[in-house]
Amino acid sequence: MTAAAVNPVRAPRGTGWIMGHAVPVLAVLAAIVVVWYAGAIFLNTPVQRDMFARAGVTDYGFADLAAATLSQERPVLPAPHQVAADFWKWTFATAPTSKRSLVYHGWITLSSTLAGFIAGTLLGILIAVAVVHSRTLDKSLMPWVVASQTIPILALAPMIIVVLNAVGITGLMPKAAISTYLSFFPVAVGMVKGLRSPDVINLDLMRTYSATPAEVLWKLRLPSSVPFLFTSMKVAIAASLVGAIVGELPTGAVAGLGARLLAGSYYGQTVQIWSALVAASLLAAMLIAIVSLAEKLVLARMGVRP
């Protein structure tokens, strides 16, 4: 749950942002690309040798082989530039309204992600408020909320889709339901922590003001829970996207990034799978960046000094 919430390692004193963070990150990314190319050549070689043998080409050097492995039609592992070209083609060189455009599929996934995320966050906050205010709910409901995090909820996805389809609910709603289900747990758990984060001394001050529980909630508990809310929202939006993508798998590959993945795996279009993966990853990174930006703005507005 807190996988994404580990603090970054501090750069040693004296190194700036560029030497401390940008250069190492870029170096790691460059290393990943190099390893990727090497892997593409290595994994595609057996197939390429076959293809050469069938075409009757026998006198080829390593350079020919390597060049050929990086430009196959359906490679075992597509090279980064192939994926980038495919991604570019279907994202920017295609009209967004086209059924083959990644923007079109990405938008469908994004809309159910956002719908599910908003519903899940609200539900999580609601549960947290109820749990914080009722000792009985805390003792009886909270263990189940925690336990339900340990079960593979995603396994429910196909069933929710098919069952809701059977009732006549199709389109956005069933996928959003899965996203809601996945995203409300982190928010509920984080918000319970956050709503309980005010110090006893502050709560006692509210008592001396003879504040009602609602006033304590609005003026003390909610403001002090905001950092917790944003931390759990980052986890929730990533989970919500996974839910939306998995939710698109059993609908028979109609639309959305998940459907692109499934269609690619049906027809052996590896490049298409990878570019859908890249699109999904970019979407995830963008969503988390937006939540982080909102967190910075809100916390700055609330007077938190970094």
Partner 1 sequence: MTAAARPKIPLLLLVTIAAGLGALVLVALGHSAAERNLILLCLLLPVAARAGLRLGGSGTGLVVLGAASVAALGWLVWTMPAARAGFTPAFWLLVLGAWTLGWQTCAALSAARPRGLALQRLVGVAVPLLFGAWLLLFWELACRGFAIPQVLLPAPSQVWARILSDWPTLLADFRQTFLQSVLIGYAIGCGSGFLAALAIDRVPFLKRGLLPVGNLVSALPIVGVAPIMVMWFGFDWPSKAAVVVIMTFFPMLVNTIAGLDAAGRMERDLMRTYAASHGQALTKLRLPAAMPFVFNALKINSTLALIGAIVAEFFGTPTVGMGFRISTEVGRMAIDMVWAEIAVAALAGSLFYGFVSLVERLVTFWHPSFRAR
Q: What single string gives the DSSP state of each residue in 86-118?
A: HHHHHHTSS-TTSTT-HHHHHHHHHHHHHHHHH
What letter would DSSP give residue 5? G
- Reduce the DSSP state of residue 1 to 3 states and report it: coil
Please state the closest distance from residue 64 (CB atom) to partner 1, in A. Answer: 25
Please state the closest distance from residue 163 (CB atom) to partner 1, in A. Answer: 6
| Helices and strands (H and E) in the chain: how many | 14, 0
Query: Max Cα separation, the chain?
Result: 91
Please list every residue from 263 through 292 that binds partner 1, using CB under 8 A.
264-265, 268, 270, 273-274, 276-277, 280-281, 284-285, 288
Six token digits for residue 298: 């809100």
Q: Is 208 in the site for partner 1 (CB under 8 A)?
A: no
Please state the closest distance from residue 247 (CB atom) to partner 1, in A. Answer: 11
The contact pattern for partner 1, residues 106-145, with x = CB under 8 A and - = no contact, is ---------------------------xxxx-xxxx-xx-
Contact in structure between 255 and 108 (CB atoms under 8 Å): yes
For partner 1, the binding residue among 33, 35, 46, 149 (CB under 8 A) is 149
Q: How far is CA 277 from the centre of its chain?
A: 11
Please state the closest distance from residue 200 (CB atom) to partner 1, in A. Answer: 11
Letter for the amino acid at 162?
V
Please list every residue from 16 through 55 that binds partner 1, using CB under 8 A.
20-21, 23-29, 32
Q: Is 84 in the site for partner 1 (CB under 8 A)?
A: no
**Looking up tokens 């020919």, which residue turns up?**
64
Please list every residue from 214 through 243 that binds partner 1, using CB under 8 A.
216, 234-235, 238, 241-242
Q: Is 262 in the site for partner 1 (CB under 8 A)?
A: yes
Please state the closest distance from residue 13 (CB atom) to partner 1, in A. Answer: 12
